């Protein structure tokens, strides 16, 4: 049986992307521009001819609403959809809601760069009563698993069990999967699939609303990965990804 195809899409532009604020687990929605990005992603996938079997998203509405717009373009709104907190964005702790430029002015560019772009340094923790995790959608999650802050390394560790248990086995069975999530949770998946090292993955940016298509050989190894969309948006992202891969 041939391997399925995996398509990764970061949600369309969110309201706090536009306002340059740390978002993390705060449940903000996509903007009109983000909706347009999602529609364009759906159109690119429609042209690709990929027939999906399942959709997987985080439990945050910017990913959910992006998936709805994509499926609307594909006329596949009926597809089985699975949602998991493990696909959520990186938890930015006490930085969530803050403007990035103002935070840099207060703490210094170097410190904010470490919080944002290092692999294993988390931002300051959110308060113990952080409302973003004390939400009904996380009622079934062990309190010890819910973060107060995450580095990229912790985000990768949170995402990997879902990749191993819910995504890779279904690809191996021949299913084509659409995963709509977030920049950092998707970087965790990309890191695992492509064997990208911890010193390289912080430099890989996943653009909003651009489908990243993975195809596999019969052994399950990545045969090809390519962004779909306008070359003006895909070229730099593809170059970053190709440059980070070993060998």
Q: Could you tell me the residue ranges of all domains in the chain?
A: 6-243
The angle formed by the CA atoms of residues 185, 188 and 193, to the nearest 5 degrees, is: 130
Q: Give the whole-angstrom CA distance, residue 126 versus residue 132.
A: 10
pTM for the structure as a whole: 0.96
> What are the residue numbers of the active site?
11, 89
- Residue 247's pLDDT is 73
Tell me: pLDDT of 1 over 70: no
Residues 6+ apart with CB under 8 A from 109: none
CA atoms within 13 A of residue 31's CA, in its CB half-sphere: 10
What are 79-114's pLDDT values in tens digits?
999 999 999 999 999 999 999 999 999 999 999 999
* CATH code of the region 6-243: 3.40.50.1240
Q: Give me 115's structure tokens.
A: 């919080």
Integer CA distances (angstroms), 21 to 99, 107, 130, 173, 197, in order: 4, 15, 17, 40, 28
* pLDDT value of position 2: 86
């Amino acid at each position: 049986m041939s391997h399925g195809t995996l398509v990764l899409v970061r949600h369309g532009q969110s309201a706090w992307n536009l306002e340059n604020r740390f978002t993390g687990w705060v449940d903000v929605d996509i903007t009109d521009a983000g909706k347009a990005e999602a529609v364009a992603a759906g159109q690119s996938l429609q042209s690709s001819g990929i027939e999906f079997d399942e959709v997987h998203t985080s439990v945050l509405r910017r990913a959910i609403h992006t998936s709805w717009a994509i499926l609307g373009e594909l006329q596949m709104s009926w597809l089985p959809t699975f949602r998991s907190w493990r696909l959520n964005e990186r938890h930015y702790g006490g930085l969530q809601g803050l403007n990035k430029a103002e935070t840099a002015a207060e703490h210094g560019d170097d410190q904010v760069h470490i919080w944002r772009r290092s692999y294993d340094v988390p931002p300051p923790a959110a308060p113990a009563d952080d409302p973003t995790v004390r939400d009904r959608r996380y009622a079934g999650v062990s309190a010890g698993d819910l973060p107060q802050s995450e580095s990229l390394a912790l985000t990768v560790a949170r995402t990997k069990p879902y990749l191993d248990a819910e995504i890779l086995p279904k690809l191996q069975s021949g299913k084509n999967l659409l995963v709509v999530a977030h920049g950092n949770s998707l970087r965790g998946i990309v890191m695992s699939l492509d064997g990208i090292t911890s010193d390289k993955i912080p430099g890989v940016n996943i653009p909003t609303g651009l489908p990243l298509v993975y195809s596999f050989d019969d052994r399950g190894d990545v045969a090809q990965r390519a962004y779909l969309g306008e070359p003006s948006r895909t070229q730099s992202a593809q170059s970053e990804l190709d440059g980070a891969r070993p060998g």
